[in-house]
Amino acid sequence: MSSTAPDPRPDLDPTAVDRAPRETGADTAPAEGAAPLQRGVFVAFEGGDGAGKSTQVRLLADRLTDAGHAVLTTREPGGTPVGERLRDLVLEHGDAVVDARTEALIFAAARAAHVEQVIRPTLAAGRTVITDRFVDSSIAYQGAGRGLGTDDVAGINAWATGGLQPDVTVLLDVDPAAGRDRRAGRAPEDRMESEPDAFHTVIRQTFLHRAAADPDRYLVLDATAPVTAIAEHVADAVLRLVAGPLPVLPSADEGTVEVTVTGRDAELVDLPEPGDGLGDQPGTESGDAPAAGRDRESGPVAADR
Ligand code: TMP
């Protein structure tokens, strides 16, 4: 928000990539006497293993930097030195037993460091943050997949993050079998990927239920659609967000967000042409007033619906 904001220190970890705007090359610190910077937009990508998140993170970062925005791409677990060490600990197959509660706390610990050391300072400096996974992954994988309870895991993470939520979460929905096929030939499966399809089906349903419960904040896309079509829709939604005012971030000690998972199934966006209303959901009109023109004080707005 100001030139005294802590440096996001992108060099902390090779997976956190800080990009200056390509076209303007502008410094994100405001000039003396200039209006205070708007905070950056926080974008999360979620989805099952093999959904293609990392490709879409990269393509969105390219689009935003081309449009003159400063962007930091990062991932979870990870994004900080301690987070990367915790990542190895929790994802590698090894001799150490990692029971479900320990697993949930390791992911939450890595996230706490990520939020405190990287995400909050970067947003405060006016930069966009794009993260490959955030709290929803813990709610889906540990809360539902491991059976720890979605509300309990949401509560732990609300404390770990101080209630920070993405402005928009892009859910790349993929059938577990399709996700497995898409991963074939890549690195050996980690502890989570090697779980059976039934585990991944529960996770998929949980992501979809959460998206349906908060449709203003989620953009649900079919991960098997063409990469460029997905990228266009994501970019369209996020570019509208970066153009408008954003709600104030919760302070770091606001960790009591209540999360309720409903039983309503989310419906996939039927990938209309970009510009037709990116977050279009069945039963809503396309082409509503763009997010940039909406009052966001009442809550985050992901995209027109
Ligand atoms: P990925 O970086 O390839 O998405 O791998 C991260 C794995 O960790 C993936 O299988 C999902 C899992 N995971 C959780 O179980 N809980 C979490 O909170 C996060 C961030 C990831």
* Residue 123 confidence (pLDDT): 97
Question: Does the beta carbon of 169 sit less than 6 angstroms from any atom of ligand 1?
Answer: no
| Residue among 133, 146, 182 to mutate when testing ligand 1 (max atoms within 8 A of CB) | 133
* Residue 296 confidence (pLDDT): 28
pTM: 0.79
pLDDT greater than 70 at residue 43: yes
Question: Does the beta carbon of 114 sit less than 6 angstroms from any atom of ligand 1?
Answer: no
Over the stretch 104-147, which tens digit does the pLDDT of each residue have? Answer: 999 999 999 999 999 999 999 999 999 999 999 999 999 999 99
Task: Tell me which of 97 and 61 has the higher pLDDT.
Answer: 61
Question: Does the beta carbon of 200 sit less than 6 angstroms from any atom of ligand 1?
Answer: no
* Residue 162 confidence (pLDDT): 98
- 10-24, 32-46, 67-81, 235-249: which range is least confident on average? 10-24
pLDDT greater than 60 at residue 283: no
Over the stretch 162-186, which tens digit does the pLDDT of each residue have? Answer: 999 999 999 999 999 999 999 888 8
- Tell me which H or E stretch contains 106: helix 100-114
CA distance 110 to 81: 9
CA distance 159 to 109: 10
Question: Does the beta carbon of 107 sit less than 6 angstroms from any atom of ligand 1?
Answer: yes
- 1-15, 49-63, 217-231, 252-266: which range is least confident on average? 1-15
pLDDT greater than 50 at residue 17: yes
Task: Tell me which of 138 and 18 has the higher pLDDT.
Answer: 138
* Residue 290 confidence (pLDDT): 26
- CA of 276 from ligand 1 middle (Å) equals 32
Task: Tell me which of 255 and 250 has the higher pLDDT.
Answer: 250
Question: Does the beta carbon of 192 sit less than 6 angstroms from any atom of ligand 1?
Answer: yes
Atom of ligand 1 nearest to the CA of 76: 20
* Residue 54 confidence (pLDDT): 96
